[in-house]
Amino acid sequence: MPLEREMAGGGGSSPHVVAVKLSAASQAAVSDSWTDSKLLSGDIVLQVSTDSGAEFRAPFAGGKAGLQREFRKLTNARGGLKVKVKRGQTILDVWVKVALDESSLLKKNYVLVSLHDATHVATLVDSIEQECIDLQEEYSKKDELLLRMNSMRLKESYVAYPWEQKLQTHLPVSGSATVFSLLVMPVALSPKARDYAGVEDTSARAVAWLSAAQESGVPISFVNIQTEPLFLQVGHPVVTTKLKFGFDQALTTMQQNIYKSEWVPLFQNREAMDMDVVRAVRLWYMPAGAEFAIELRPEENEARLGVGISCTEEGFCYVSSVDPGTVADRAGLLTLYQGACEARKLLVVSRLGREKITPWLVSSGGSIRCFDTVSMSDKLSLHRQTGESVKLHVMLWDGALHDSSGPQGFMDNPSGRN
């Protein structure tokens, strides 16, 4: 809305007034809210006075130009100027000082600078009262909206989610994550003193295990490593103690019976319960390439499935042999096994049926909890004897999906979905 109007030749029903117009920088600075201590665009000037007694009242002789001539005499006015303005239905007194407008090159113009903020600069223009009223109403509406905007808080909501359907259709292996983990317990340095190795030592063991597994040909990649606080009970008969949230937890006498401490404060209270808090390390990893499902479908009276299973030092079960002309060969396992040998990788079994077949725990004594290959062979044999098919998931290595020598369907079904 225009503010500056020349008085010469102006008619109309609204009286001519001298109004305030802020500089562009000042206008942007005050656009967020109203303020009574500073001039705003659209303010109608009613009176200008000084502490020394000088006073000018509207209507001003010569309008804006007449006030500019007076401002020349008031640039050094002690205590500044008091400008009485009309803002809506309110009359306000605003204190300013007069300064020379440095942006004006042709003639000397004077601006009004807030006593409270030197960056707040205003000038005066000739206008008509109705234009000022319209502009003030616009400010008032905007200020109301800004107040609502600043005070408004977003509401929380709940969204129903089809978890079961998503678990079945949006995971590479239906209903299961494709990440694996190994929990490494700290070494017991002195059981009598309840002294355990620190996080640095335990972390080093986890990383050494990962590196050794990769070097032996296990196709896995590092995902994350984290500390995991655990409770370790020592040397007392069964006790029952009240934990943090008031539930009873029966604690056994076994020294290696451990509990995650997510619900329990991390401090030792041996009078209340004879337990120590130790810091284990959980190592997260995943297949370097992907998981691939091989379904073994034995036919009637078949003597064997034709797959041999062995175990690495790190506890990974892997396919160590595949006999030609057997169930495993028909399923494509022989071709995949040969591809792994050419890539100098182990064909690691990650799942048997729906059960993960990976090592999951390293005890304080250093032994690795993993699956027994004899029991796996026995279970596979039972599938053969009953004629029930069984699905093996194996870990693929980098580049395996682009290997043209892969089994039929290998390129189409890397996730193992059927």
Closest CA to 22 of 31, 11, 9, 13: 31
Strand partners, 394: 292, 349
Closest CA to 98 of 62, 64, 72: 72
> Cβ contacts of residue 17 below 8 Å, gap of 6+?
44, 45, 58, 59, 126, 127, 128, 129, 132
- Encoded tokens for 166: 């998503």
Closest CA to 215 of 290, 121, 312, 310: 312
Residue 44 is assigned to a structural domain of this protein: yes
Query: Which pLDDT does position 191 carry in this prediction?
Result: 61
Give the domain extent around 67.
16-151
Strand partners, 220: 287
Residue 379 is assigned to a structural domain of this protein: no
State the Cα torsion 327-331-335-340 to the nearest 10°: -100
Quote the number of domains for the chain.
1
Residue 51 is assigned to a structural domain of this protein: yes
In the block, tokens 């990383």 appear at: 207
pLDDT per position in the chain (418 positions), as tens?
444 443 333 444 467 888 888 776 766 666 554 567 788 888 888 888 887 778 888 888 888 888 888 888 887 777 788 889 888 788 888 888 888 887 766 677 888 888 878 888 888 888 888 888 888 777 777 777 777 888 889 899 999 999 999 988 888 888 888 899 999 999 888 766 567 888 999 999 999 999 999 999 999 999 999 998 877 655 544 333 333 333 233 333 333 344 333 333 444 444 555 566 788 999 999 999 999 999 999 988 888 899 999 999 999 999 999 999 999 999 999 999 999 999 999 999 999 988 999 999 999 889 999 999 999 999 999 999 998 999 999 999 988 876 544 444 444 444 444 3
Give DSSP secondary structure letters for 254-280.
Answer: -TT-EEE-TTS-SS--TTT--EEEEEE
342/23 Cα distance (integer angstroms):
76
21/85 Cα distance (integer angstroms):
13
Q: What is the pTM of this model?
A: 0.59
Query: Which pLDDT does position 65 carry in this prediction?
Result: 86
Query: Which pLDDT does position 339 carry in this prediction?
Result: 93
Instruction: Count CA atoms within 13 Å of residue 112 on its CB side.
Output: 27
Query: Which pLDDT does position 14 carry in this prediction?
Result: 60
Residue 46 is assigned to a structural domain of this protein: yes
Alpha helices by DSSP H, 58-183: 63-73, 129-151, 163-169
Residue 117 is assigned to a structural domain of this protein: yes
Closest CA to 183 of 223, 217, 225, 232: 225
Asked if residues 363 and 185 have their Cβ atoms less than 8 Å apart, the reply is: yes
DSSP β-ladder status, 188-190 and 291-296 = unpaired
Residue 62 is assigned to a structural domain of this protein: yes
359/183 Cα distance (integer angstroms):
9
Residue 76 is assigned to a structural domain of this protein: yes
DSSP β-ladder status, 361-362 and 180-184 = parallel
228/210 Cα distance (integer angstroms):
18
Query: Which pLDDT does position 28 carry in this prediction?
Result: 64
Query: Which pLDDT does position 418 carry in this prediction?
Result: 39
Residue 23, SS3 per DSSP = coil
Greatest C-alpha distance within the chain: 119
Query: Which pLDDT does position 271 carry in this prediction?
Result: 52
Query: Which pLDDT does position 336 carry in this prediction?
Result: 94
Residue 417 is assigned to a structural domain of this protein: no
71/222 Cα distance (integer angstroms):
75
